[in-house]
């Protein structure tokens, strides 16, 4: 193929005339500012890929993953062998607990913990990180809300999203059989043996109904005399509890337990919450599904080991279990950590997220807390203490090495009344009313920001924020999450907010979707936007949410994939791409991701895809990457045209950093543009939003790799041409074919909108002139 012709065909097809209307100038600038705001919040909170010390190659994982992952490890990894083997390779005495440091911390007047490097810094009020203030956060939030509610912006985003969907359809028509042929050439790999992570599953409902039923019957038969609960002033055995319910083990069945979410739960989140109680009895939930009870969570630990054992036997399925910290007491963290460590619930297939229910109003009604500040203290104070001195909470320090982030959960459909013109600080919030979603999100984010910077300086693992968001309720929730969160769970309401959906696409923000859960609670399966999001290129994965309520089989994640594949006719390549997305969204360590999806998984496009591990065709990854880059190129190009002064200092800073980089020039050669390596080769890096079209935003961080320069560049340097990786990827260029057919243009929507806007402006002027003449 003629190289000159190839380059002409692969360059971004911008409108020949750079002049755009004032409306479009404002639109592009606002989009760019929204992306900048998200990058600001991700950077300050250390949530970008590479910010976590776990992303270093030197990070030690204990207990180590099983062979053949790490043949040179000094530890002997165990081979999965039933529930009793779970955690058998964990030895508490082998874990080194670091000593204290000189840092000090205190909560400021705004309800945010501030960390200081020393007592002198505390006196001078010089914290180690400047956390965005509540005012700054709400101003930024209002700006993004104003952008996504703007009429022209919504129209523009809607057209771009429809264009992305049409481009996908064109790609599939041209390349479907090529993808199939490429997949057949890969030995061993198929959907069943590529890694897939359940990125959103609640621990208390991680088993299916039959599993829980079998476990309860087993305990009734084997240990009926276990003292399991204290009620009515006396201790009760398991047998006495069931006698009080007029039940025997023989009477129990799936129907009598009544834990599945049937039709009566649709749009009834209150009824769904009751499904967590076996037979409708809260005492059975306390006995079998709580970590803090009379038997110290022994039954829940045993059934957890059985579920983990099933995961380990499957080898290719992983889970990130969400377990609750309520914020009613500072001792909750130690109790939870003791439960995990004492029961040795460590597995290479499992990581943990901490979910914080938004239940301040319930705690206030029962006088458990005095104000909202006390909830924040109960959640975060133990974490700052264990970071400053791990010996003060040794088990908590061990547990936090397997905790990857925080979640915020509750019924989003509850109405939020705003009774304050300006929200009071947490120490003043002592009413019985629950704070709104955006208020909760800010204080979770702000305190996590201080904690992350503190832990990063100590070389400890950091956390990401992945809240439940966009399942129901106000679309404002999605905006709060856009600014503050690494990824979200659900996100089905994005279908109603095209501008925000487009931003989620541009930033490749992770969305863990659960169509079977949505089908039971809020949205019929056939109306779920998952296939549309996937076709448009959003970073979506499939998850189970609550297998106990929504699934029937021993492998709920495979059940989720199988239903989606049947209903939406997903191909093998589609399911493998979704599986890869789930790994990219997950919080597993860099070492493990390298083994699962490739050593360069964080690089853009084909460079970051190891097809022998992911089974995702390179032509698919190349298509996703090119499409995303073209959208970002268009946005950055016209933003620069609207405000060229914004980019002057940026280019100067980038040139200095590129000149001082020690990375290979080839790493930066994504296209010709600004900057020079000193070898006559132009160096250009795109936004971290585009570093990997299947991954969340990537930023600078402590990767110990020759590609470190790739992760250290500023997000907003415009790029002049598409990388030539598509020449080697071998897929039919959708845009080239489309141009030959005279069907579409990359920025046809932009040109048409500009023409229509200009025509409307001329028409308004003409009408105004006529009215003026009539008045005279």
- Is the pLDDT at 715 greater than 50, yes or no? no
- Is the pLDDT at 722 greater than 50, yes or no? no
Question: Do residues 464 and 49 touch, judged by C-beta distance below 8 A?
Answer: no
Q: With respect to residue 589, please indicate whether it lies within any of the assigned structural domains.
A: yes
Q: With respect to residue 723, please indicate whether it lies within any of the assigned structural domains.
A: no
What are 477-516's pLDDT values in tens digits? 999 999 999 999 999 999 999 999 999 999 999 999 999 9
Average pLDDT over residues 68-89: 61
Q: Which helix (H) or strand (E) holds 353?
A: strand 350-357
Question: Do residues 651 and 684 touch, judged by C-beta distance below 8 A?
Answer: no
Instruction: Calculate the dihedral angle through the C-alpha atoms of 244, 210, 322, 295, rounding to the nearest 10 degrees.
Output: 40
751-755, 764-768, 770-774: which has the highest mean pLDDT? 764-768
- Is the pLDDT at 747 greater than 50, yes or no? no
Question: Do residues 475 and 500 touch, judged by C-beta distance below 8 A?
Answer: yes
Give phi and psi for 462, each to the nearest 5. Answer: -105, 180
Q: With respect to residue 42, please indicate whether it lies within any of the assigned structural domains.
A: yes
Query: Which band of pLDDT confidence, cut at 50, 70 and 90, is reported for residue 274?
Result: low
pLDDT of residue 497: 95
Average pLDDT over residues 659-679: 34
What are 450-472's pLDDT values in tens digits? 999 999 999 999 999 999 998 88
Query: Which band of pLDDT confidence, cut at 50, 70 and 90, is reported for residue 736?
Result: very low
pLDDT of residue 14: 52
pLDDT of residue 755: 60
What are 228-268's pLDDT values in tens digits? 888 878 888 988 888 888 888 888 887 777 676 666 666 56
pLDDT of residue 757: 62
Average pLDDT over residues 557-577: 95
- Is the pLDDT at 34 greater than 60, yes or no? yes
- Is the pLDDT at 473 greater than 60, yes or no? yes
pLDDT of residue 437: 93
pLDDT of residue 419: 77
pLDDT above 90 as % of the chain: 53
Q: Using CA atoms, how far apart are residues 715 and 698, in angstroms rounded to an integer?
A: 9
CATH number at 122 reads 3.20.20.140
Relative to beta strand 464-465, strand 403-409 is parallel
Query: Which band of pLDDT confidence, cut at 50, 70 and 90, is reported for residue 652?
Result: very low
Sign of CA dihedral 590, 593, 594, 597: negative
What separation in angstroms does the CA of 240 have from each of 123, 278, 299, 766, 773?
Answer: 60, 16, 17, 87, 93
pLDDT of residue 697: 39
Q: How many domains does the chain have?
A: 1
pLDDT of residue 247: 82
pLDDT of residue 264: 66
pLDDT of residue 255: 78
Q: Using CA atoms, how far apart are residues 146 and 153, in angstroms rounded to an integer?
A: 10
pLDDT of residue 286: 86
Give the residue numbers marked as catalytic.
490
pLDDT of residue 68: 61
pLDDT of residue 724: 38
Q: With respect to residue 671, please indicate whether it lies within any of the assigned structural domains.
A: no
Average pLDDT over residues 179-200: 92
701 versus 609: the higher-pLDDT residue is: 609
Residue carrying the six token digits 């082998």: 94
- Is the pLDDT at 74 greater than 50, yes or no? yes
What are 118-174's pLDDT values in tens digits? 999 999 999 999 999 999 999 999 999 999 999 999 999 999 999 999 999 999 999
Query: How many other β-carbons are positioned within 10 Å of the β-carbon of residue 671?
Result: 21
- Is the pLDDT at 45 greater than 50, yes or no? yes
What are 333-381's pLDDT values in tens digits? 999 999 999 999 999 999 999 999 999 999 999 999 999 999 999 999 9
What are 383-438's pLDDT values in tens digits? 999 999 999 999 999 999 999 999 999 888 787 877 788 889 999 999 989 999 99
By residue range, what is the domain housing residue 544? Answer: 33-101+107-655
pLDDT of residue 241: 87
Q: How far is CA 673 from the centre of its chain?
A: 32
Q: With respect to residue 244, please indicate whether it lies within any of the assigned structural domains.
A: yes
pLDDT of residue 415: 76
Query: Which band of pLDDT confidence, cut at 50, 70 and 90, is reported for residue 758?
Result: low
What separation in angstroms does the CA of 148 have from each of 34, 158, 496, 498, 502?
Answer: 10, 11, 11, 8, 10
709 versus 389: the higher-pLDDT residue is: 389
Q: With respect to residue 14, please indicate whether it lies within any of the assigned structural domains.
A: no
pLDDT of residue 601: 94
527 versus 260: the higher-pLDDT residue is: 527
- Is the pLDDT at 184 greater than 60, yes or no? yes
Integer-rounded Cα Rg, in Å, for the chain is 27
3-state secondary structure of 313: helix
pLDDT of residue 494: 95
Q: Using CA atoms, how far apart are residues 329 and 270, in angstroms rounded to an integer?
A: 25
Query: Is residue 59 classed exposed, middle or buried when 0-12, 13-18 and 19+ CB atoms within 10 A define those classes?
Result: middle
Number of H helices, E strands in the chain: 31, 13
pLDDT of residue 475: 87
Q: What is the DSSP string of 496-526?
A: G-HHHHHHHHHHT-EEEE-HHHHHHHTS-GG
Q: With respect to residue 661, please indicate whether it lies within any of the assigned structural domains.
A: no
Q: With respect to residue 319, please indicate whether it lies within any of the assigned structural domains.
A: yes
């Amino acid at each position: 193929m003629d190289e000159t012709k190839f380059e002409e065909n692969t360059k971004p097809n911008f409108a020949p005339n750079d002049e755009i209307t004032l409306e479009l100038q404002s639109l592009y600038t606002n989009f760019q500012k929204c992306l900048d705001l998200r990058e600001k919040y991700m950077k300050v909170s250390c949530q970008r890929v590479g910010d976590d010390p776990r992303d270093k190659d030197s990070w030690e994982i204990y207990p180590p993953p099983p062979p053949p992952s790490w043949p040179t490890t000094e530890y002997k990894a165990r081979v999965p062998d039933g529930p009793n083997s779970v955690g058998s390779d964990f030895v508490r005495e082998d874990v080194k607990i670091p000593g204290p440091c000189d840092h000090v911390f205190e909560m400021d007047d705004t309800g945010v913990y501030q960390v200081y490097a020393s007592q002198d810094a505390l006196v001078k009020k010089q914290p180690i990180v400047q956390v965005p203030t509540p005012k700054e956060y709400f101003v930024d939030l209002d700006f993004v809300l104003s952008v996504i509610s703007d009429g022209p912006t919504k129209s523009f985003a809607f057209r771009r999203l429809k264009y992305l969907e049409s481009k996908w359809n064109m790609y599939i028509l041209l390349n479907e059989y090529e993808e199939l042929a490429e997949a057949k050439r890969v030995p061993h790999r198929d959907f069943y043996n590529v890694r897939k992570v359940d990125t959103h599953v609640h621990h208390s409902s991680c088993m299916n109904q039959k599993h829980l039923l079998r476990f309860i019957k087993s305990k009734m038969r084997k240990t009926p005399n276990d003292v399991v609960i204290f009620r009515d002033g006396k201790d009760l055995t398991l047998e006495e509890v069931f006698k009080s319910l007029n039940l025997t083990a023989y009477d129990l069945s799936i129907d009598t337990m009544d834990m599945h979410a049937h039709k009566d739960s649709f749009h009834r989140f209150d009824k769904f919450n009751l499904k967590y109680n076996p037979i409708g009895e809260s005492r059975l939930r306390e006995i079998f599904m709580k970590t803090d009870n009379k038997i110290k969570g022994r039954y829940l630990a045993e059934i957890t080991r059985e579920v983990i054992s099933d995961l380990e036997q499957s080898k290719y399925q992983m889970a990130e279990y969400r377990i609750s910290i309520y914020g009613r007491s500072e001792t909750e963290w130690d109790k939870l950590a003791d439960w995990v460590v004492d029961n040795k619930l460590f597995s290479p297939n499992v990581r943990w997220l901490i979910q914080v229910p938004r239940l301040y109003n319930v705690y206030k009604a029962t006088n458990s807390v005095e104000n909202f500040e006390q909830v924040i203290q109960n959640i975060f104070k133990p974490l700052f203490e264990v970071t400053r001195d791990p010996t003060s909470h040794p088990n908590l320090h061990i547990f936090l090495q397997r905790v990857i982030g925080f979640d915020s959960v509750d019924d989003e459909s509850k109405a939020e009344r705003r009774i304050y013109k300006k929200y009071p600080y947490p120490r003043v919030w002592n009413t019985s009313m629950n704070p709104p979603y955006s208020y909760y999100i800010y204080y979770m984010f702000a305190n996590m920001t201080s904690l992350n910077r503190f832990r990063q300086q100590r070389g400890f693992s950091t956390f990401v924020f992945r809240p439940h968001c966009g399942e129901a309720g106000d679309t404002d929730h999605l905006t709060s999450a856009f600014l503050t969160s690494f990824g979200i769970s659900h996100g089905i309401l994005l279908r109603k907010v095209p501008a925000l959906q487009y931003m989620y696409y541009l930033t490749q923000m992770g969305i863990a979707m659960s169509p079977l859960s949505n089908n039971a609670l809020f949205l019929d399966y056939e109306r779920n936007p998952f296939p549309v999001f996937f076709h448009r290129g959003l970073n979506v994965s499939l998850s189970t949410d609550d297998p106990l309520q929504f699934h029937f089989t021993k492998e709920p994640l495979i059940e989720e994939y199988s239903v989606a594949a049947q209903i939406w006719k997903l191909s093998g390549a589609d399911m493998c791409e979704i599986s890869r997305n789930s790994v990219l969204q997950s919080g597993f360590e860099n070492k493990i991701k390298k083994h699962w999806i490739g050593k360069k998984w964080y690089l853009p496009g084909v460079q970051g895809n190891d097809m022998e591990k992911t089974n995702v065709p390179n032509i698919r990854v190349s298509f996703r990457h090119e499409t995303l880059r073209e959208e970002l190129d268009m946005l950055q190009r016209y933003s620069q045209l609207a405000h060229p002064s914004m980019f002057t200092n940026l280019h100067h800073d980038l040139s200095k950093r590129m000149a001082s980089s020690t990375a290979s020039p080839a790493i930066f050669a994504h296209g010709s543009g600004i900057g020079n390596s000193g070898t006559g080769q132009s160096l250009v890096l795109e936004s971290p939003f585009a570093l990997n079209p299947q991954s969340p935003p990537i930023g600078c961080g402590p990767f110990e790799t020759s590609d470190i320069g790739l992760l250290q560049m500023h997000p907003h340097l415009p790029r002049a041409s598409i990388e030539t990786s598509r020449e080697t990827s071998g897929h039919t260029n959708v845009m080239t074919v489309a141009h030959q057919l005279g069907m579409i243009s990359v920025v046809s929507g932009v040109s048409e909108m500009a023409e229509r806007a200009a025509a409307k402006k001329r028409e308004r002027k003409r009408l105004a002139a006529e009215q003026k003449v009539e008045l005279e």
